[in-house]
Structure 1
């Protein structure tokens, strides 16, 4: 037996956890590692912020999620995405660290691979995780993803100090090659799902029938499909008696059959997208996930760069921002899972409480930036630094809890769709979350360069109030975890 087969996980959470961990490395690389490196070389805030545009593949993952579901299968897409990640990291080992264009192309390749991987892994998680374990599953997802970000940020920064740029990215490429071999040999996702696709379809139809009070007990549940699925079945069952045809006739019949299959797949992709956009609560959920990270990410990304300008060294930032803050964020994500494990917990109440704590942290950072930027007389600079670092730590802790609760809410509402559309629904909502972070993060540098750091942090605080307004008016009916 091959050596890697012994590494096949006994638990789907372990399998999913490792995939989420390696998926988080590119984000930490782009969020913590690369900006500090480029800013230390004197690159302007606006140019550093423009690197956020390289997250564009994450914005598009909601569009290609149905394609991944319909064409090829999750296992093939997962292996292909890991190969892209390995190739991008290997390319990074061959470029110069001050070549901004080459670094950008490397980051684009890493984001493309991790975005495709995210769709495949999220679909697998929705398949194997039951409702009463959603809080635990999302705790694992967020925590190990942030550990991956920690590896990609502070971890690679420490490795760079000990070795070289080329060695750092060669190590990263080797990690992705190992994961590719493991994922290609593991069938955990297919073998450990607690419910077959037929049973999931039966459960979904039973839920729909209970809500509409229709009598469906006399029907074969596994034969109930969406209109596009019915068309697909008709196409797939279409038979041609090739014995009555000559060779040309047989080829023509085969071509017609293949065309019918492709048409049915295209129709199925459209039907999935239609169900996703008309699902219950999609409007307010989209508004929340689009806004809830804007102000937070702006403060988290730019406070360390502000401290770098005020005399902090890269090593100090690697410790406080890359290690301590990231560790607190991981702890917050874990604690968020503990909170959500309570019976009949309302996800909305958890989000409101900790969004208030987050707002207080950002307001504190506004005060610190004002005191240090305006050189207010009589202010002890050391106290301002302590207050700024403390606010960074508390913001990271609160954001960890909010992330776990938000992703649990997203996955909970994706379960309201039919089984064939759940992964696409989750991917569309998750891409909106990335869009919210990307849009403002890309513009924040321009605002800082033209309006100053003080005005920019006032905007961060204002943006942190908007999710609170949405949370106070959103319906609570879909925000409870079923037990």
Structure 2
């Protein structure tokens, strides 16, 4: 199993780089070059190729091997980063993004989406039933580390890291990862999908046992958690929490606790814990943690409550943040394991497409409440809003009672 997990860890770490780069580092670099806030915000539209991830997954399933797609897409990412190294984000005296840089960043997202589909296909075909827990732990933890390195890690080097040096560093990393993808013995031994005739992918994908239930679960299981997670730190700030302390614990502390939760989930699954039983337990714990955060918000609005640095109430609030990220890591790894188990029930010619469908729905569910949480808080108020998040967090618990036996 080690021969499978080590290359997957390296490749999933590299897969997390574009997310950290474009969500954490690139906006700061563009703003430092003089781009307006509006233009920096519009740069997020460069993520558009990810919306077509299902199409890329279908190509991976139908033609070639995941190893070839993975090596070629990763090498292409290195080439694009090399080209970006010689295209500055904004020429002197101008405050807009050159068309060449826009095109290259768009292609970078296209390559990252293809690489993501190929790596997921490789993992689905490579991991055996008893390896899904450790394999998905490696996936989640390595991806988060890659995102943190590209976002926070490189951001810390920003004063001494020029635009060309940054992208040449990323290009070198991608080329090394492409060599790993091509040379890793475990990936060389991946079976090629058998040739198949014409098919109807949407119908075939939905016909896989357990797909409808899993799709509904992954779309809803993060709704309450994401809504609360996006609002709770801001509400603490409004009530007097220290911004530097809150940033430290909700940034670095959150990543550490989330990784610890993912690692614990993998260890429990490796000890043959029943997947749905473990998922039910951690969902109950997450619901309890969210109930504690809701009660804390009510208490903070009472006369005399203070979140000043060093107070007991401040420590409890920060501890609740870390606890929820820890439990979120547990829930996420268990859910990704279940998704991969469901995708392994599909024919080999549809496994990448099937997993990409589930992953897209999982991402949609996470973004939905995260994006709408502020609107809900402004219109309903924080207390009714958190009551809604609690209610939404009950839905996946109710849904587990209807889980098909094929996923047990």
TM class by smaller structure: 0.7 to 0.9
Could you say which residue in structure 1 is the equivalent of 2:36? none
Structure 2 partner of 1:438: 367
Q: C-alpha deviations, 1:274-294, integer Å up to 9, x for none? A: 321211111000001111122
> Alpha-carbon deviation of 1:458?
2.8
How far has the Cα of 1:194 moved from its partner? 7.6
Question: Which residue of structure 1 aligns with residue 303 of structure 2?
Answer: 377
SS at match of 1:473: coil
Within 1, Cα distance between the matches of 2:91 and 2:314? 36
Q: CA deviation at 1:159?
A: 3.3
Kindly indicate whether the alpha-carbon contact (under 8 Å) linking 1:48 and 1:445 is maintained by their aligned counterparts in 2.
no
| Structure 2 residue aligned with 1:349 | 277
Are the equivalent residues in 1 in contact too, given 2:25–2:150 (CA < 8 A)? yes
- Superposition deviation, residue 170 in structure 1: 5.2
Tell me what 2:33 maps to: none
Using the TM superposition, give the Cα deviation of residue 370 of structure 1 relative to its aligned residue in structure 2, in angstroms: 3.6
What's the secondary structure of 2:16's corresponding residue? helix
Mapped pair 1:122 → 2:120: yes
Instruction: Could you tell me which runs of 5 or more consecutive residues in structure 1 were left unpaired when the two chains were aligned.
Output: 1-9, 39-46, 202-224, 229-266
Q: Distance in 2 between matches of 1:330 and 1:66?
A: 31
SS of residue matched to 1:402: helix
CA distance in 2: counterparts of 1:291 and 1:378, whole angstroms: 37
Instruction: Tell me the residue number matched to 2:356.
Output: 427
Structure 2 distance, partners of 1:57, 1:122, is 17
Q: Is the 8 A contact 1:16 1:125 kept in 2?
A: yes
How far residue 70 of structure 1 moved from its aligned partner, in angstroms, is 3.2
Q: 1:77 aligns with which of 73, 78, 86?
A: 73
| Alignment partners' CA distance in 1, 2:290 and 2:40 | 22
1:40-439 alignment to 2 at 5 Å?
A: 56-71=48-63, 73-74=68-69, 75-84=71-80, 94=90, 111-160=109-158, 163=159, 167=161, 172-186=166-180, 188=182, 191-193=185-187, 197=191, 226=196, 228=197, 267=198, 270-312=199-241, 315-343=244-272, 345-372=273-300, 375-381=301-307, 382-439=311-368
Between 392-401 and 83-92, report the one with greater CA deviation: 83-92
CA offset digits 1:230-260 (Å, max 9, x no partner): xxxxxxxxxxxxxxxxxxxxxxxxxxxxxxx
Question: Counterpart of 2:34?
Answer: none
> In 2 relative to 1, CA 322–156 (structure 1 residues): closer, same or farther, beyond 3 Å?
farther
Aligned mates of 2:15, 2:105 — CA distance in 1: 13
Q: Is the 8 A contact 1:57 1:112 kept in 2?
A: yes
Q: TM-score, normalised by structure 1?
A: 0.69
Q: What stretches of structure 2 of length at least 5 have no aligned partner?
A: 31-38
**2-side partners of 1:170 and 1:301: how far apart?**
34
User: Using the alignment, how far apart are the partners of 1:168 and 1:357 within structure 2?
Assistant: 45
Other structure's SS at 1:355 match: helix
Q: 1:432, CA displacement in angstroms?
A: 0.8
Aligned residues: 387
Question: RMSD across aligned C-alpha pairs, in angstroms?
Answer: 3.7
Distance 1:317 1:352 in 2: 30
Shift in Å at residue 425 of structure 1? 1.0
Larger mean CA deviation between 422-431 and 21-30 belongs to 21-30
Pair 453,286 (structure 1): closer, same or farther in 2 beyond 3 Å: same
Q: Distance in 2 between matches of 1:143 and 1:452?
A: 35
Instruction: Give 1:34 shift.
Output: 8.1
Structure 1 residue 110: Cα displacement: 6.1
From the superposition, tell whether residues 474 and 296 of structure 1 become closer, same or farther in structure 2 (CA, over 3 Å). same
- Cα distance in 2 between the residues matched to 1:85 and 1:351: 40
**Deviation sequence 1:35-91 (CA, Å, 0-9, x none):** 9999xxxxxxxx999998775544431233102333565132333345456667887
TM-score, normalised by the number of residues in structure 2: 0.80
Aligned 8 A contact 1:154 1:319 in 2: no
Q: Which has the larger radius of gyration?
A: 1
